[in-house]
Amino acid sequence: MIKKILPIIAVVVGLLAFMEDGIDGLIPYILLIGGGYLIYRGIFSRKKKKTEETPFLTKEKETYYKDLGMSESEINLFRDTMNSSKKQILQLQKNIANNAKLKAIDLRHDCLKTSKALFKELTKEPTRLPEASQFLYTHLPNLVDLTNHFVEINEHQVKSKEVYGKLEESSRIIDQMAALIVKDYQHFVSNDLEDLDADMNLAKEHIENDPDFQTK
């Protein structure tokens, strides 16, 4: 910290030595230098935070996104959203692994596996990000928050009747949220299922009209 302040002190002292008005005339310069330094630190900090949070964008990936017709802002939004969702899925995985009740809920709905599957689908089709908005911005974050609190409270050594009641109520809501995530996935892949149905119906027509496949 001292090393960062020393250059500023040196500049202030140097200016003071050449100012006829002394410290009064130097105040505007001090404010200007201080403000510039704070702005610089703020910009630098934001860039550093951005670098730490979002993985490096390779040329191959950038080309892939642009070939899909995505703008720079759309690419940034997609990458930031997916990076955040990845961290949430990993936290959900950790919470489920650390609690028997959450494991039971996951076994019933496969919400962790479904979350990973939907995440994978989005990486293949980034332009469909808006179609998964409920999952990305509401259901998944809420489920992670709920399981975070559930695990934290469940680890209390002493629990009152009220605490047990809250845990039971929370587990029911977690169960419902897990079911919503499964619906999110089903909705996202519904077009694929419709395409498969159309392909199967077309194949059946060809089979039925092919004399070699007619029942004798």
CA–CA dist 184, 114 (Å, integer): 9
Residue 32 — left, alpha, or beta (φ > 0 → left; ψ -120 to 50 → alpha)? Answer: alpha
| pLDDT digit string, tens, across residues 87-118 | 999 999 999 999 999 999 999 999 999 999 99
**Residues ≥6 apart with Cβ < 8 Å to 165:** none
Which residue do the tokens 């961290």 mark? 87
Which residue do the tokens 């001292």 mark? 2
| pLDDT digit string, tens, across residues 170-184 | 999 999 999 999 999
DSSP 3-state of 69: coil
- Residue 41 token pair: 């630190």
Does the pLDDT value for residue 145 go beyond 60?
yes
Domain ranges of the chain: 2-53, 71-203
CA–CA dist 180, 131 (Å, integer): 14
pLDDT computed for residue 14 by the predictor: 55
DSSP 3-state of 59: helix
